[in-house]
Amino acid sequence: MPTVDKALCMQGGFAATGRVSQQGLPLIAKTVPATNKNKKQRPLRVLLMGGIHGDELTSAAIVYRWVEGMTGPIAQSIDWRIMPVVNPDGLLAEKASRMNANGVDLNRNFPTPGWDAEAPRYWKARTRSDPRRFPGHAPLSEPESRWVEEEMRSFKPDVIISVHAPFGVLDFDGPEEPPRKFGRLLLNRVGVYPGSLGNYSGVHQNVPVITIELPNAQKMPQQAEVRRIWVDMLQWIVRNVDPRQQEAAIRSVSTSGTKR
Ligand SMILES: [Zn+2]
């Protein structure tokens, strides 16, 4: 990965989760609990993931670089779950591949409502059966997308950050006021696709998804820009995502469930 060597990977402290990719590579993650806690409310939970598209090398590399610099009171006020390489088979293939080892675009494989009809139709009509955008034969057909969905259910994030490349923009799915600018990246809503993580989580699970599209899939932004995106992102999160609201939503769901 650009600007990330083996030593930095090892230093990140990621561990095998027990889940493996289609080709049997470990799917790795780590939890970093908040150390700078506010007594009045629980820490925000942020799920950060890179490399869901294996040929977007910078999207995984920048996660390692951010983890290296996770100091400061805001970062330490957050409970983190970090998954730097969601698609290791694609990233480590001889020629890095967007898709996983089954040729599936993992970011079209999440169980959005109506997937069975919409995802294949969209793929055929709108992408003209582009193999780089194949959604799979069923939602969550792939071990890597099942793993992401499991992590979402167990960690219960307040916000998800998913890093991509190379469109050089920010995208956002969720009810909050969207971020306008992280570093040089400007908000540009790219659209909603059947089976995408933003559509599944941000639109249908009510957990907002920030999609960061770095400007180049092979070449890293300058160090100052890597840092700027990180700082702007943390500031947006603490100002716009409120853990109490999420808890109120969970309470209202469970109360309405018991009223029946
Ligand atoms: Zn991507």
For position 40, what pLDDT does the model report?
A: 82
Nearest-Å Rg of the Cα atoms of the chain is 18
Domains of the chain: which residue ranges? 6-13+49-76+92-244
Q: What pLDDT score does 39 carry? A: 81
How far apart CA 239 and CA 77 sit, in angstroms, is: 13
Query: What is the 48 CA–ligand 1 centroid distance (Å)?
Result: 14
Residue 127 Cα to ligand 1 midpoint, Å, equals 15
End-to-end CA distance of the chain: 53
Tell me what pLDDT residue 38 has. Answer: 82
Residue 93 Cα to ligand 1 middle (Å): 16
pLDDT at 244: 59
> Which portions of the chain are predicted below pLDDT 50?
254-260
**Near ion ligand 1, which residues have CB within 5 Å?**
53, 56, 164
Q: What is the pLDDT of residue 255?
A: 47
Residue 257 confidence (pLDDT): 41
Residue partners of 199: CB distance under 8 A and separation at least 6: 110, 112, 173, 192, 193
Is the preceding peptide bond at 166 cis, omega within 30 degrees of 0?
Answer: yes
Ligand 1 center from residue 17 Cα (angstroms): 23
pLDDT of residue 248: 55
Which residue is associated with the tokens 């100052």? 224
**Cα dist from 214 to 66, 180, 217, whole Å:** 14, 15, 7
DSSP letter for each residue of 152-176: HHHH--SEEEEEE-SS-EEEEESSS
pLDDT at residue 253 in the model: 52
What's the pLDDT at 165? 98
What does the pLDDT read at residue 242? 81
pLDDT in tens, 227-260: 999 999 999 999 999 875 555 555 555 444 443 3
Q: Using one digit for the tens of pLDDT, what is the confidence trace for 82-105?
A: 999 999 999 999 999 999 999 999
Q: Note the CATH architecture for domain 6-13+49-76+92-244.
A: 3-Layer(aba) Sandwich (3.40)
pLDDT at 186: 97
**Nearest partner of 226 among 214, 238, 210, 241, judged by Cα:** 214
